[in-house]
Amino acid sequence: MRHSSTPFFSALFPLLFGRPPCRELKNLQARASGSDSISELRKALGQFVPDALLGRHTQSGRDRLFTPLVTFWAFLSQVLSPQSACRDAVRKAQAWWSLGRRLPVSTNTSAYCQARGRLSEQTLLAIHRQTAQRLECNVPTDSLWLGRRVKVVDGTTCSMPDTAESQKAYPQPGSQKPGCGFPMMKLVGLFCLASGALLEVVHGTLRVHESQLFRHLWPHLNPSDVLLADRGFCSFFSLSSLQERGVDCLMRLHQRRRVDFRGGKRLGPEDIVLNWTKPAQRPETLSAQEFSALPDSLTVRQIRLHPNIKGFRVRTIVLVTTLLDPIAFPAQALGELYFQRWSVELHFREIKTLLRLDILRCLSPQMVHKELLLHMIAYNLIRCLMQQAAICHHVDLSRISFKGTLDTLHHFADVIRAAAAKPRQRAQLYSEMLLLIALDQLPIRPLRSEPRAKKRRPKNYQLLTKPRKLMIIIQHRSRHKAALT
């Protein structure tokens, strides 16, 4: 399926943006609630999204062409095809309407946009958690780390259109001049290491530190989980609070904490157990009640690693963990586990680059939140396909390509929909799709070094240093740099 092909309910194409006779409308709406009304995406992914979650919030009082069921799958198709706009959806509906030789359809996108606005955010959140729970439940026991579930946390940012409402909710960076920047949202996500599932995301402005947003993810951690994080999340408060919840941590030591291996109880070479004392001064991010509830000391384990890997900028990494038993949790196993933290960077790259989360397109903060939830759902649905292919064909899930799965889904969705009236053929096509996903494995490239540098040079355009109405374009390219100084 090409980017210009937006999946929709094949039986509901005549309904989109038009008003057929009342009897025909009722007949088609009756089909919409059944199994006949299935789009390309719903044929391939419908087993992961229960219709009951969307049916709970069906609008009452009038007959709508865009029911929550129709709107959800249409909105999801736009997320999975980033170049697909609302106007493109209308054109698709017009083409199918013309094929049926019915009355012309309005080119106005208002009906579809209003339907997206009526989607309940709680419904989308329930669908997201349903997909995340499914991925979690299907993790094989042998994929766990020493019998423990590992969760990974990390942060990132995304931008959105420059509207007054979005600027108020998510102000642009202070380094950018007014009228020259875009609203920015800070995200902190919690992933499952074994399945790659995006379990939960919290968001805030750039002025809120990631560690503050991180606290909102703690209720989604279960006792006996192991949390894997970078040094930005490492603090006395986080380690002690999570330990009280029964959650163990493995983090890189914060850069402001002094490294000292001369004291403590020695467990091995550069592996010690020591006590951290409670900070004397209360951090601004903690209330007086939270600070007083902290213990006076915390026992942690500190390990120093010397990675000799090509491309690594650092030669020494100090880890801190609450996993104190050196027999049950050897230092080498902890080091290998920490280096798997890099997988969360790849997951964010898949969401931001392949699903285009880096630049959201909705114009209001309310719709931006729904678009963010749709990106989370889309990512987990692709992960569900990858997990199903890995289990069915006994391959390593980490070797399956996310981009390859997304491309395979795009191309097979049309064929699966065409076989809607033939259940056996449809099941066979779905099995072949899973086989191709399982066969599309990433090559093994140990110690691969890929510097973060661009080879292709950008166009020599002037930078917008003033609001667009006040900007004066200098015709001679060689004077661009002089004009900025």
pLDDT digits (tens, 9 = 90+) for 106-119: 678 888 888 889 99
- Give residue 285's pLDDT: 85
Q: Say what the pLDDT of residue 444 is.
A: 84
- pLDDT tens for 170-227 read 999 988 888 889 999 999 999 999 999 999 999 999 999 999 999 999 999 999 999 9
CA distances 136 to 129, 133, 221, 268, 380, Å, are: 10, 5, 12, 35, 11
| Token pair of 296 as six digits | 């006076």
pLDDT on residue 302? 95
The pLDDT mean for the chain works out to 83
Residues 6+ apart with CB under 8 A from 184: 157, 158, 159, 170, 171, 172, 173, 205, 206
The mean pLDDT value for 452-469 works out to: 84
H/E element, 6: none
β-strands 271-277, 297-305: how paired?
antiparallel
pLDDT of residue 39: 56
Q: Determine the Cα–Cα distance for residues 314 and 312; give it in Å rounded to an integer.
A: 6
Query: Does residue 158 carry a pLDDT above 60?
Result: yes
Q: For residue 466, name the pLDDT band (cuts at 50, 70, 90).
A: confident
Map out the domains of the chain as residue ranges. Answer: 10-119, 123-350
pLDDT tens by residue, 450-460: 777 888 888 88
The predicted model scores a pTM of 0.86
pLDDT tens profile 246-265: 999 999 999 888 888 888 89
Better-scored residue on pLDDT, 18 or 431: 431
* Measured distance CA(313)–CA(23) in Å, rounded: 69
Q: Which residue has the tokens 């384990």?
A: 301
Fold (topology level) of 123-350: Transposase Inhibitor Protein From Tn5; Chain A, domain 1 (3.90.350)
